[in-house]
Amino acid sequence: MWSSSVVRRVVLTLALASFSLAGSTIHVPSTSTVKESVLPPRGWAQHNRPHPDHKIELRIGLPQPNFHILEEHLYEISDPFHERYGQHLSKEEVEELVAPHPESIDSVTAWLASHGFQEADLERSPAKDWVYLTVPVSVAEKLLDTTYYVWKHVESGDEFVRTTSYSLPDHLHAHIDVIQPTTMFARFKGMKTTIHSVEDAVKEFQPPKLDSSLNADAHVPVDPTCNTTITISCLQQLYNAVGYTPSANINNSIGITGYLEQFANIQDLQSFYTEQRPDALNTSFNFVSVKGGINSQNLSEAGAEANLDVQFAFGLSFPIKSTFWSTAGRPPFKPDATEPENSNEPYNDWLDFVLAQEEIPLVISTSYGEAEQTVPKNYARRACNGFAQLGARGVSLFFSSGDGGVGDGESDPALQQCFTNDGRNVTKFMPSFPAGCPFVTAVGGTVNVPEIAVDFSGGGFSDYWSQPKYQQNAVNAYLKKLPEGLYKGLFNPGGRAFPDVAAQGLRFRIWLNGVPRSIGGTSASSPTFAGIVALLNDARLKKGQPPLGFLNPLIYSKGGDGFNDIVFGNNPGCGTPGFNATKGWDPVTGLGTPNFKKLKDLLT
């Protein structure tokens, strides 16, 4: 195991090798050049100029010159065959490995000071790799030598204050990775396909009984009602977790992220527990506000996404300690107002917040995302690096893989909307973000008993990240099965492939606004899988073993036999039938759905 002092020495040695500070001086040249430029994105229309006093919170990302060392640590401590497996890093060790070089800090600070900003005007992340500055639009335009406009998303009506290009003094290009909000047009939406009316959910029903004999080896039939209604009991039977009792007293934990004013209602949770998890009745979760996020308990404001995530993740893992974060910010907003009503980047607000905490839940599920191409590559990479930091600290991160199949979910070529936003308008499969980040575990969807792939299950290959070593054997085996030339040019066969795993994604019975409803989407699959992993952490912690942390190197190797392979179904989109589920890994259901008892035997 590398001690904190060893980590510090390695970082210092490489930092000194990379930079020579002897006699260095910081100067401010007079010339500026474009740092980042994008074409007007498809589906967005430029409108009027925003009020000059409208506030923007600029996020300035400084380079992380030693991130590659953090990545090496992450893969070593996540590899079950490495001697360092499970030896997760501390918050302080991670921060040292992502800290920018002092020259970058000094250069950016001097540049801001030249525009009249003092240290008291700035906020910095604990590692000092981000600088935050709230300024009027008029000031941001001078700082970045750009012009902001109000842009409107034609389909939804969402409005953002954005620019398509910004510039920096030449000497700063090496000291700043990215500045946002500038060129980012991602809308970051919830991953749910359907929410049915009250009449579509049986108002009164008897949940299937928890009979451990029903699913002793995960191959016998589960209760037939699970083909029409998914409950906690159905998931326990399907995934071979019937009869397992986790502990509330071993420092285990699970968390759910909430955005876009999606509130998790406690009254609905109690109704859900009464019906499906009576031993959890009168218990709740720990609520944490991020940047002023609230969790309104007005029953009429309960969120379908938040209720789904909380009820099933916490219902499956009860009585493990649970946390629900609510992060402020959602479109639409009023771009003519002077106050910053919405930065439109709530996801990274959450990431910044949680990285600054000493203690973080060991398992976290997120059911939100966006098409990868709508997130500027530099910004997406920085967010992905943040996920790696959480993984290095022993956190397992799960993201819904998306609900559009290989793109828009449309199999009719005449109706497909999968076009690149680089000005070419070329038809192409649309990978999802954050699901395509190699440092997270992406969860696809299944349906029915026996399980098949649900047709909206997002999956494919990233255009931003190359294929990580941990999945190459599994993915290449799949690619060899594809007919020669199939979908040539529509996807990147060398990209990070997703999803990694899958779980049920349709007909989940939740309580919403005081009544039962049926809901579906990979937004149901991710919290389900997260709940199972929280149980696995329980089994490990009881034996004095560390939590699982970043899961992918493990599941693609030692844990591979702990999954139910899904071999039927496909994920249409972009005017095509999409990819097929097949034996082994596939870009619809990944490695398959979890078999808890098999995984527990393999991993403890």
Catalytic residue positions, numbered? 305, 309, 523
- According to the annotation, is 170 in a ligand binding site? no
Residue with tokens 């934990």: 253
Question: Cβ distance 160 to 483 under 8 Å?
Answer: no
- Hey, what's the torsion of the CAs at 512, 344, 155, 194, to 10 degrees? -20
Residue with tokens 């490495």: 82
Structure tokens that stand for 2 in this block = 């590398």
Residue with tokens 């020579």: 20
CA distance linking residue 417 with residue 409, whole number of Å: 9
Classify strands 368-371 and 321-327 as parallel, antiparallel or unpaired: unpaired
Q: Which amino acid is at 594?
A: P
Structure tokens that stand for 490 in this block = 């529509």
3-state secondary structure of 394: coil
540 phi and psi angles, rounded to 5 deg: -70, -45
3-state secondary structure of 135: strand
CA distance linking residue 212 with residue 241, whole number of Å: 9
- According to the annotation, is 565 in a ligand binding site? yes
- According to the annotation, is 566 in a ligand binding site? yes
Q: What is the DSSP string of 412-436?
A: -TTT---B-TTTT--B----EETTT
Question: Cβ distance 205 to 229 under 8 Å?
Answer: yes
Question: Cβ distance 26 to 107 under 8 Å?
Answer: yes
- According to the annotation, is 586 in a ligand binding site? yes
CA distance linking residue 38 with residue 379, whole number of Å: 13
Report the Cα–Cα distance between both ends of the chain, in Å, rounded. 20
How many contiguous H segments (helices) and E segments (strands) does the chain have? 14, 27
542 phi and psi angles, rounded to 5 deg: -65, -25
CA distance linking residue 274 with residue 315, whole number of Å: 11
245: Cβ contacts below 8 Å, ≥ 6 apart = none
14: Cβ contacts below 8 Å, ≥ 6 apart = 65, 66, 69
120: Cβ contacts below 8 Å, ≥ 6 apart = none
Burial 457-489 (b: 16+ CB within 10 A, else e): bbbbbbbbbebbebbeebbeebeeeeeeeebee
Question: Cβ distance 538 to 246 under 8 Å?
Answer: yes
Binding-site positions read 565-566, 584, 586
Question: Binding site residues for Ca(2+), as ranges?
Answer: 565-566, 584, 586
